[in-house]
Structure 1
Amino acid sequence: MHSFVRSAALATTFLAVPFLHPAAALAAEAPTAEAAAPAAAADDQERTSVGTGAHDRGGEIVVTARRRQESSQEVPLAISVVGGEHIDATGSFNVGRLQQLTPTLQFYSSNPRNTAVNIRGLGVPFGLTNDGIEQGVGIYIDDVYNSRVASATFDFLDVAQIEVLRGPQGTLYGKNTTAGAINITTNQPTFDFEGKAEVSLGNYNFKQAKAAISGPLSDTLAARVAVSSTSRRGTIYNVVTDENIQSQDNLGLRGQLLWQPTDALAITLAGDYSAQDANCCGSVYVRTGLTQRALNRQFAALSAALGYAPPSTDPFDRLTDLDTNLKAKNKIGGASLRVKWDVGEGTVTSITAWRFWDWGPSNDRDFTGLPIVALSQNPSQQDQYTQELRYNYSSDAIDFVVGAFGFYQRIDTQGTEAQGAAASRWSIAPSNALSNDPSVLNGLVAYNSQYLKNTSAALFGQLSWHITPELTLQPGVRLNYDKKEGYYQRRVFNGQGQELILDGSYTARESAQLAIYTPQEISPTFSDWNFSYDFTASYKVAPDVLLYATYAKSFKSGGINQNGVPVDGQNNPILESATVKPESVHHYEAGIKTQFWDRLATFNFSIFRSDIKDYQANVNNGQYGVLRGYLANAGKVRSQGVEVDFSVRPSERFNAYANGAYTDATYRKFVDAPCPPELSGGTVVTGSQVPGAPGVPGALSPANCDISGQRLPGVSKWSFSFGAEANTPATILGKDGEVYVGYDGSVRSNFSSNPSPSAYTWVDGYSLHNVRAGFRTEAGLNVYGWVRNLFDENYFDQLFVGPGNTGLIAGLPGDPRTWGFTISSNF
């Protein structure tokens, strides 16, 4: 029924947009023109797409961060703006690539579901996704909130501009966001006929194509259709299946219909559909590190006993031997209706939207070629409904926005986890005779059923009071209600199909099986009201110099554990762990925004600090079973730092930019955190016993660890991006235009790839360098070649701790050097 309703809704939306035939199809993975900050977004309700080049002499970057159009230099908050041309030019076709241009943005993805998008180190816990909490970074596409972070893994489709807003945004946006927001604006239907098409080819069989066409259907009706397709073979070779994994296979479609009967009223109906079907997602062997588990139960001894060796001990050979079928089918789409109506001195905006998400995975959770975990998959389906209504008013004395927001989400997940023929020898102590009987664990399976109902409603508003032309005071408030209802059930069956029941009386065989998978059933719930507020003061020292300071008291809604909870000595669920408290955030920020040299140069500086109480952390318990991680509250977390953005365009022939960030994000108080692998695996201490030294086999292990003062995962202290482009007039094959050369680079220092920092999971810092060169004409033709990761640097996107405290560390290498060619045309 869900599938039928979804198909019907999408079909209705797309059929509403008549098919327009583009002159040529398709788009680019890499480089085009402007290398500095981007062109401004067009007015999405005007009859023609209008924008001012960001680096034209005296030009401005127009943003909608405060729900009205204004120069980015007039907005008293830290904001990074990337235009559509710059996205194409740098090959930043999804959020993962975007982080190379915006140093304070962090993106990590082991697969589309297990994706984290953070700003300044804050947003969602690092590790496996738990549907029971909110994301701290809101992702908005044409004003529509996307609750699934998986949407960040898709290609950008016909994008005009992306704004990355840093810091709490709850008093201006529908869904509360404590870390920031990514505000994506697509190109809108136009009343002048226009189109664009690009196609790119590269190594690794890379193919990417994009096309968009827009124009009038009548004096009051306009339509726009866009399509995108990306494919590439994988960068890791699986010696078992003779396949390349980590491939790309993306398809995106978007249709929009704009009805503008008067200058005061504009109604936009939009529908989109995106699908991924990659041979993904896997890992490679990286290293081992000694834990406190008995030596004969660590990776080296267990591998030797089973006659196993990884295909390579050099992870940058890019070889793996994963023996479980890999699958990462991901579909996201929906429809929206946006009404914008100018009423008197203000504007009423209504956005009604429905989104869906279907996730069909299959993973190898033991990270080896051994049949230990034979199957691991947790397919999910989501439907989301949102309604936002707001009123904007602007005058010489005051500007304000007030709004109401409603949200409902339903997620259903069906999980299957199964053990394989090598599981008994790997997971049962060698001193136990059952370890030599493969049938004890072979075929042991856990079936998970879960659902989440998530409802929230909010009233929000923000006022800008212009006391003088130079001084503005800006208070904002938000009242929010959240309710979450969940259900989780795990049923366990042995290899003979018999269900294991918790009745307190078990044979040795059943005890060994229950140590892997334990039946569980819980129905966690959470509800709460929250009030948050912020206050900003800004002062124009000079026409092009703005000072500002902000204080915000914000929150992130509490949550429920949707992946199961820990159990006590009698295997009963510890219900106190079923819910997590809301995060309480105190945020402080100050900055300066300047333009000089006749506005040919821009320099912005910000300093910030966020103090979070009851930070929602991901806790991993090292088991092979279904309970791979759950949520818990850390006592206190702090993120503080400075950010600098600079761009310059002294002439039409040259532009350059440099952005940098120093981020100090640490646990201030987390005394009962999960221990890193070097302090795990041994007999847990009791009473006055003293834990052993890290990495000593057979030593006593602490029940938990105090990681206060240590760095949050995924955060580099130093991060930079920089680039430049130069061009010169030229005539080629009778076409007048310009030859150009562009460069973009990024550097980041090391970061922890485990929720509790471990000596084994620090990812070394690295730098990436991308170049492009080509020829473009004023008529819109652009032909160029590009190279990404020019020096073929070896680096990791992420490292993973293998289950069971065996000391195995697996990893996901970043992309090697890639190169290709692109041809594009605007008409």
Structure 2
Amino acid sequence: MTLATTRKAMRLRCVIGMFALAGAGAGYAAPALAQDGAEPEGLETITVTARKQTENLQSTPISITAFSAERLEAQGITQVNRIQDFTPNLTFANIPSNSGIASNAAVYIRGIGQNDFAPTVEPGVGIYIDGVYLGRTAGGVFDLIDVASIEVLRGPQGTLFGRNTIGGAINLTTLQPDDTLRAKMDMKYGTDDLVNVRAMVSGPLADGLFAKVSAGISRQDGYVDAPNLGVKFGNKDTKTVRGALRFAPGGSPLEVTLAGDYTRDKSNGAPVVVTGIDETATGSFVTLANVIGSGTGNPGDCLTAAAASNTACYNSRLYSRDTNYATDPTFSDLELWSAALTVSYQLADEIEVKSITALRRINGTFAQDRDGSNLGINYVYDTFTQKQFSQEFQIVGKALDGRLNWVTGLYFFKEKGKDINPIDFLVVYANSGGYYDYKNWAAFAQLGFEITDGLTLTGGIRYTDDRKSYLPDQYVISTLEPFLSIPTGTRIVPYEWVDANVKKWTPMANLSWQATPDLMAYVTYSQGFKGGGYTQRVFPPEESLPSFRPETVDSYEAGFKLMALGNRLRFNGAAFYTDYNDMQLLVADASRVGPFITNAGKARIQGFELETNIAPGGGFRLNAAVGMTDAKFKRLEDGVQGLTLDSKFVMVSKWTVSASAEKEFLMDAAGTLTPHLDWSYRSGFYTNANGINTPELYQPGYSVFNANLRWQDEGQHLSLTLGVDNIGNRKFRTFGDYQPSFGFYMQAFDRGRQYYAKLGYSF
């Protein structure tokens, strides 16, 4: 047995042991009593809306991780991507993609996702806020202001959620105003002058009319020095405001909610640095820059120790983990707003009709000196806009004394916009990008019938008509002679609309068995798909715009959900097997400048998730989770470069493990004191934004420990929290990029250890 195999076996035994110990501790220890002598404390009941209706988590036959507002608060989560630390088989990263955008959600569930923000490719995991789909990943890493719950749905959600949920969905629900007057405010200060202020007030305006207003400001200094620009990359400057007006007169079957939000997210730029060059990439732009800079025509002269300080050379003078020597403007500026009108009507005792109408708009400009030098090897600039409109109609009902339940509906989605992307690549200055206009129609239905007591068969199907039109606006502005000579104005690809249309049926079948009131088991087969599209970044010129086909998955899942020990133990698990066909992958090779998307081939993904929550009493709370994603290529398309059947999926860890513990101490009139400790582990993964396994961009497995101490007054109105994140100061890789045509490695690393104090008040 090899050392690596031994370590993997030991790690698996530790994980299994952790769950066994958690279960044994709850099973054999005497139940702790609450300090007032009442019955033993139990776990909270979690309700979810994963199937377009409100259900108990434990009776919903889907693999879900759910966070309540209280759990998010206890674990110190104030930004949505932090849920990846406590959700098995989830990657929720903030990466600059190939543009320098500072807020871009790269989300993967069970190995399926996407990390590029470009409008010519779709995300593989859908993000929804109050039932509204966010069509673009730009701005997808946001602060949590008034979130009531977050649900992570694993596996394809192709029936009720539809397109671009091939890997799963993240469903956020915000707090809805009602007749209870409530307010909340907290102020957080921490490392690098972190200032995070949030406030919310909600309550009645008149009989049957309720309102909510919330706002937040988040600022923090950067941690990657850019001395030539006089700034630090990785800073934060975000402002958000939300509002909702709800009309729900007592006794009326009608309920109307009008909601809106506005966010401005500005940054000096993503915290990337240059860490090295590939000396074997002899045809790269870095090599050409060193041919010019050496003065002798020999690029090797730039790589000697004597040339280390030569500013005409691209070499080790630029390598760093905390400094970027960029000279061209680098920044990220996003403005987002949305509005949604939700109308529900109780048509009968067991039938509800709902309409969700939504608008959303994104305006952004971002630029990045990607080579991090004075040599102008790779500079990109984006002007990005998106306008989306969506309309969904739902009918949710029950019949036959609750034995029959159904959801059916119609969906329409439209988006249009542009991503105009000038590029400066040493020998060529060109305009890239283009304009897009997409439409999506769908009809869906899901029917569940309780065949016999506890045994329910559910079937669902969705028909989708997905149509995309794209106009590339790409032409040469100038070239550097004698190295390259292309006439000004030459079209890189034809200036003509291209279409990528697909019509698709996505079925689902589920059989669940409520064996006892506390134990449920299920099996599911489901399909998902993601539409095809086009490569936006093209050079050298081609006769037509490169395209790629839709990708599809067939997923098989079996799971169980258990409540035990008088609602003090929750233990849920699922195992899955997925056939992944026509996998869309962002790749790069030396024959093209810039990354492109292709159908890489076929893969299979298998694994499992286990999650447990324990409340043994006495104010104790224990949580643990483990996920395993084993992804393997089964077939590669001809012409796919840089990949083999042994290549690993990028941004995806095989193992994700987490655990947390907290204990509430009652101090009578002095209030409560709750220490909290959590740990998360991710096994090694490749960080390259493109699908190639670049050894220099490999992040070995790592652990992160966080802790906080929270005090609340006796009335639970005033609170003070002191905490530290990343206690071990692990500055792990969060992003990497290497493209053979450029020849340098760029990476981003975590900020490291952070301290904070948070003062809050609510009623």
Fold conserved between structures, TM > 0.5:
yes
Cα deviation code 1:156-204 (max 9, x no counterpart): 2200100000011121125451111100000011212110000011120
CA contact (8 A) 1:202 1:820 kept: yes
Tell whether 2:110 aligns with 1:120.
yes
CA contact (8 A) 2:72 2:78 kept: yes
Tell whether 2:341 aligns with 1:407.
no
- 1:253 pairs with 228, 241, 251, which one? 241
Q: Which residue of 2 aligns with 1:552?
A: 526
TM-superposed CA distance for 1:113, in Å, is 6.2
- 1:199 pairs with 163, 187, 190, which one? 187
Q: Which residue of 1 aligns with 2:511?
A: 537
Tell whether 2:651 aligns with 1:714.
yes
TM-superposed CA distance for 1:491, in Å, is 2.1
TM-superposed CA distance for 1:115, in Å, is 3.6
Measure, in 2, the Cα distance between the counterparts of 1:114 and 1:300.
Answer: 37
Cα deviation code 1:107-159 (max 9, x no counterpart): 231234654211111022x4x43312322211110111111112321112200
Q: Which residue of 2 aligns with 1:753?
A: 687
TM-superposed CA distance for 1:595, in Å, is 1.1
Q: Which residue of 1 aligns with 2:119?
A: 131
Q: Which residue of 2 aligns with 1:775?
A: 711
Tell whether 2:527 aligns with 1:593.
no
Measure, in 2, the Cα distance between the counterparts of 1:178 and 1:771.
Answer: 35
Query: What is the aligned residue count?
Result: 696
Q: Secondary structure at the match of 1:804?
A: coil
Measure, in 1, the Cα distance between the counterparts of 2:679 and 2:644.
Answer: 34
Identity in percent: 28
CA contact (8 A) 2:479 2:486 kept: no
CA RMSD of aligned residues (A): 2.5
CA change 1:314–1:631 in 2 (3 A) is closer
Tell whether 2:551 aligns with 1:583.
yes
CA change 1:230–1:671 in 2 (3 A) is same
Cα deviation code 1:506-565 (max 9, x no counterpart): x8455389999956535321112111101000112222111100011332222233334x
Alignment of 1:779-794 (within 5 A): 779-794=716-731
Measure, in 2, the Cα distance between the counterparts of 1:168 and 1:664.
Answer: 17
TM-superposed CA distance for 1:215, in Å, is 1.1
Measure, in 2, the Cα distance between the counterparts of 1:362 and 1:176.
Answer: 27
CA change 1:166–1:294 in 2 (3 A) is closer
Cα deviation code 1:744-784 (max 9, x no counterpart): 11100110123121222211221111100131123321111
CA contact (8 A) 1:310 1:320 kept: no
Alignment of 1:364-403 (within 5 A): 364-366=369-371, 368-373=372-377, 375-395=379-399, 396-403=402-409
Tell whether 2:69 aligns with 1:84.
yes
Tell whether 2:453 aligns with 1:469.
yes
CA contact (8 A) 1:271 1:333 kept: yes
Q: Secondary structure at the match of 1:791?
A: coil
Alignment of 1:32-181 (within 5 A): 57=42, 59-108=44-93, 109-110=95-96, 111-112=101-102, 114-124=104-114, 126=115, 128-173=116-161, 175=163, 177-181=165-169
Q: Which residue of 1 aligns with 2:675?
A: 741
TM-superposed CA distance for 1:264, in Å, is 1.5
Q: Secondary structure at the match of 1:552?
A: strand
Measure, in 2, the Cα distance between the counterparts of 1:71 and 1:59.
Answer: 11
CA change 1:293–1:612 in 2 (3 A) is same
Bigger drift between 205-214 and 509-518 goes to: 509-518
Q: Secondary structure at the match of 2:74?
A: helix
Tell whether 2:636 aligns with 1:670.
yes
CA contact (8 A) 2:599 2:637 kept: no
Q: Secondary structure at the match of 2:495?
A: strand
CA change 1:354–1:301 in 2 (3 A) is farther
Q: Secondary structure at the match of 1:88?
A: helix
CA change 1:510–1:797 in 2 (3 A) is closer
TM-superposed CA distance for 1:309, in Å, is 4.7
Q: Which residue type is aligned with residue 756 of structure 2?
A: G
TM-score normalized with structure 1 length:
0.80
TM-superposed CA distance for 1:291, in Å, is 2.6
CA change 1:495–1:805 in 2 (3 A) is closer
Q: Which residue of 2 aligns with 1:491?
A: 475
CA contact (8 A) 1:175 1:405 kept: no
Measure, in 1, the Cα distance between the counterparts of 2:268 and 2:594.
Answer: 23
Q: Which residue type is aligned with residue 611 of structure 1?
A: D
CA contact (8 A) 2:339 2:360 kept: yes
Measure, in 1, the Cα distance between the counterparts of 2:174 and 2:521.
Answer: 31
Measure, in 2, the Cα distance between the counterparts of 1:389 and 1:78.
Answer: 26
Measure, in 2, the Cα distance between the counterparts of 1:779 and 1:180.
Answer: 36
Measure, in 2, the Cα distance between the counterparts of 1:822 and 1:414.
Answer: 41
Bigger drift between 153-162 and 277-286 goes to: 277-286
Bigger drift between 583-592 and 509-518 goes to: 509-518
Unaligned stretches of 5+ in structure 2? 1-21, 23-39, 291-298
TM-superposed CA distance for 1:258, in Å, is 0.3
Measure, in 2, the Cα distance between the counterparts of 1:166 and 1:102.
Answer: 10
Cα deviation code 1:209-250 (max 9, x no counterpart): 100001111111100000011000001112323322110111
TM-superposed CA distance for 1:803, in Å, is 5.7
CA change 1:405–1:333 in 2 (3 A) is same
Q: Which residue of 2 aligns with 1:17?
A: none
Q: Which residue of 2 aligns with 1:325?
A: 329
Q: Secondary structure at the match of 2:650?
A: coil
Q: Which residue of 2 aligns with 1:416?
A: 422
Q: Which residue of 1 aligns with 2:269?
A: 280
Alignment of 1:678-717 (within 5 A): 704-717=641-654
Measure, in 2, the Cα distance between the counterparts of 1:170 and 1:820.
Answer: 41
CA contact (8 A) 1:673 1:756 kept: no
Q: Secondary structure at the match of 2:695?
A: coil
CA change 1:300–1:217 in 2 (3 A) is farther
Tell whether 2:740 aligns with 1:811.
no
CA contact (8 A) 1:310 1:321 kept: no
Q: Secondary structure at the match of 1:99?
A: helix
CA contact (8 A) 1:282 1:364 kept: no
Measure, in 2, the Cα distance between the counterparts of 1:251 and 1:544.
Answer: 44
Q: Which residue of 2 aligns with 1:657?
A: 623
Measure, in 2, the Cα distance between the counterparts of 1:513 and 1:749.
Answer: 50
Bigger drift between 446-455 and 167-176 goes to: 167-176
Q: Which residue type is aligned with residue 683 of structure 2?
A: S
CA contact (8 A) 1:190 1:216 kept: yes
Q: Secondary structure at the match of 2:671?
A: strand
TM-superposed CA distance for 1:622, in Å, is 4.9
- 1:223 pairs with 208, 211, 223, which one? 211
CA contact (8 A) 2:649 2:686 kept: yes
Q: Which residue of 2 aligns with 1:632?
A: 598
CA contact (8 A) 1:282 1:322 kept: no
Measure, in 2, the Cα distance between the counterparts of 1:820 and 1:451.
Answer: 44
Q: Which residue of 1 aligns with 2:607?
A: 641
Cα deviation code 1:270-306 (max 9, x no counterpart): 0101110111124113234443526966887556472
Q: Secondary structure at the match of 2:214?
A: strand
Measure, in 2, the Cα distance between the counterparts of 1:449 and 1:582.
Answer: 21
Measure, in 2, the Cα distance between the counterparts of 1:705 and 1:266.
Answer: 55
Q: Which residue of 2 aligns with 1:52?
A: none
Measure, in 2, the Cα distance between the counterparts of 1:375 and 1:758.
Answer: 22
CA change 1:102–1:591 in 2 (3 A) is same
CA change 1:59–1:97 in 2 (3 A) is closer
TM-superposed CA distance for 1:78, in Å, is 0.3
Cα deviation code 1:322-359 (max 9, x no counterpart): 22211110111110000011111210010000000111
CA contact (8 A) 1:793 1:816 kept: yes
Q: Which residue of 1 aligns with 2:259?
A: 270
